[in-house]
Amino acid sequence: MFAIKKSDETIVELLASALRRDIAFGALLPDQKLKIEELRKRYGGSNHSMRETLRILSTEGLVEATAQRGFRVTSATEDDLRDILLVRIEIERVALARAIAAGDVTWEGRVIAAHHALRKAEDAVAEAPDDLTALEWDEACRAFSHALIEACDSPRLIDLHGKLFDQSRRFRLAQLRENTLDWKARRVRQQALVEAVLAKDTTEASSLLQEDIQAELKTNDP
Amino acid sequence: MFAIKKSDETIVELLASALRRDIAFGALLPDQKLKIEELRKRYGGSNHSMRETLRILSTEGLVEATAQRGFRVTSATEDDLRDILLVRIEIERVALARAIAAGDVTWEGRVIAAHHALRKAEDAVAEAPDDLTALEWDEACRAFSHALIEACDSPRLIDLHGKLFDQSRRFRLAQLRENTLDWKARRVRQQALVEAVLAKDTTEASSLLQEDIQAELKTNDP
DNA sequence: TTTTTCATAAATATCCAACATTTTTGATCT
DNA sequence: AGATCAAAAATGTTGGATATTTATGAAAAA
């Protein structure tokens, strides 16, 4: 419409990014009806581009499509989070085990680098949790998590990991806003995880990984 | 256009079914370029409907989309099959373990029923492997596999299972055409699997399940 | 002959405007 | 209050048109 199309990104991809962001931050709420016309007014694009965008987001599990009844933001109950994390744990455990078995020294380097970046990002967000730093923090989490498993030699495991991670983003950012994260514990855990990975201690790494993922659930402690 | 729209299926869904079928049977070959215009001539629908259909199929992993370069049928090398089966094994094992733990007697009933239907379907296809029976056989496999895990109480595991199963369909049907299936072994294995499930013997069931999935790989024995 | 360059053709991505169909809404009647 | 049904809204679909990008193939250069 009026936005300058830089690089080779397609309109639909731009729309998808915008919607993803707004879903992650809760500007578009869970279960909210997504009417094509309204979205067009807000984000631009033609009706088809918008429909296609919504199809893509439904691929990613952020939006749900019902025949003849349009689209809505995927609901986000605690059960949903539990389910996502359950699958994440299984996928990431398998992938991590394979990565440890197959990964070479350059992979180890990428893990260390991602861990380093994550620590910086956690420091930054713990101090000033504005939206931008929050996004950068989440991106660092994603990069670290991705680095851990990227040597697993299974495109589908990697792809799944990414999708599941993105699905849990909303919850993670909410947790950040509510300030229920234990930064100290995270740091210790992640440090131990990296050490276990470098020591090729699969069982230890696996259980630390599970702990780290499970920690995303403890939003309300009694 | 001229096709009668029965029930509440949407055009895009009809197109998607047709394309799914043709991909499964190899009428649309792996890596084949999918040009919108050509597809429209063959299947009908407008350019937008066709694009949306292709987006949906790319959701399901049957088609791949590349920005500015359109769509093509997902490639189907032996590595792809291996990768799909690897993930299937992990997902189904977890789901089956959970189903055994959580399933009640009505679930057991559904497993037995699905197993019974599968046996019939295997008999039928072993005798007369035409396209229709082949599809019915595959559908019975899917129903059986689905029944085994449906009590796992995780919508995402169930959803993933379905997608992965559909992705491996092409390979399964090819295996059927090439007649490299060991019907006897399948029957014994499936029988044992059901018995293990009913006996709530998770480890035994798990390893039989793995075997059964792995068997989809043995296309060319040396 | 091989490679490069460039115009041309093909295909993708997008938009607008309209129409058919389905779902939702709201007013009316019992 | 509950059922009925017409009007309004939203979805799904289409045709045609137009940028923009990618692929193609022929002429020019090395």
pLDDT of the residue at A128: 86
Report the residue from B68, B86, B91 with minimal CB separation from A154. Answer: B86
Question: Closest Cα of chain B to A157: distance in Å?
Answer: 7
pLDDT digits (tens, 9 = 90+) for A151-209: 999 999 999 999 999 999 999 999 999 999 999 999 999 999 999 999 999 999 999 99
Burial class (CB in 10 A: 0-12, 13-18, 19+), A33: exposed
pLDDT digits (tens, 9 = 90+) for A83-141: 999 999 999 999 999 999 999 999 999 999 999 999 999 999 988 879 999 999 999 99
**Averaged over B108-126, what is the pLDDT?**
97
pLDDT bracket for residue A6 (50, 70, 90): very low
Residue where the block lists tokens 């299926």? B9
Residue A3, CB, less than 7 Å from strand D? no
Both tokens assigned to A4:
């300058």
Distance from CA of B200 to the nearest CA of A (A): 21
pLDDT reported for residue B134: 95
Q: Which of residues 16-45 of A touch B (CB under 8 A)?
A: none
B125 to chain A nearest CA, in Å? 31
**Residue B188 pLDDT level (bands cut at 50, 70, 90):** very high
User: Which residues of chain A does B94 touch, with a Cβ-Cβ cutoff of 8 Å?
Assistant: 90
- Closest partner residue to A94 (CB to CB) among B10, B58, B90 is B90
Interatomic CA–C1' length for residue B156 and nucleotide C22, angstroms = 30
pLDDT on residue B219: 56
Report the distance separating Cα A171 and Cα A77, nearest Å. Answer: 9
* pLDDT (average), residues B73-98: 97
Chain A 32-61 residues in 7 Å CB range of strand D: 33-37, 47-48, 51
Q: Does A160 touch chain B (CB under 8 A)?
A: yes
pLDDT of residue A129: 79
| Residues β-bridged to residue B63 | B73
State pTM to two decimals: 0.92
The confidence score (pLDDT) of residue B3 equals: 40
**What is the distance in angstroms between the Cα of A94 and the nearest Cα belonging to chain B?**
8
Stretch A40-55: mean pLDDT: 95
List the nucleotides on chain C closer than 7 A to a protein CB. Answer: 11-18, 21-24
Nucleotide nearest residue A44, measured CA to C1'? C15
- Paired with A63 in beta bridges are A73
Beta-ladder partners of A66: A70
Q: How many pairs of residues across A and B have Cβ atoms under 8 Å apart?
A: 57
Å from A45 (CA) to C17 (C1')? 15
The whole-number pLDDT of residue B218 equals 73
The predicted pLDDT at position A9 comes to 81
Nucleic strand D near CB of residue B48 (< 7 Å): yes
3-state secondary structure chain A: CCCCCCCCCCHHHHHHHHHHHHHHCCCCCCCCEECHHHHHHHHCCCHHHHHHHHHHHHHCCCEEEECCCEEEECCCCHHHHHHHHHHHHHHHHHHHHHHHHHCCHHHHHHHHHHHHHHHHHHHHHHHCCCHHHHHHHHHHHHHHHHHHHHHHCCHHHHHHHHHHHHHCHHHHHHHHHCCCCCHHHHHHHHHHHHHHHHCCCHHHHHHHHHHHHHCCCCCCCC
User: Does pLDDT of A5 surpass 70?
Assistant: no
Read off the pLDDT band of B127 (50, 70, 90): confident
A145 CA, C26 C1': Å apart: 52
Is B68 near strand D, with its CB below 7 A from some atom of it? yes
Q: Is A56 on the interface with B (CB under 8 A)?
A: yes
Nucleotides of D under 7 A from a protein CB: 10-17, 21-23
**Under 8 Å CB-to-CB from A47, ≥6 apart: which residues?**
A36, A37, A40
pLDDT given at position A219: 56
Protein CA at A19 to nucleotide C1' at D19, angstroms: 25
CA distance A44 to B51: 19
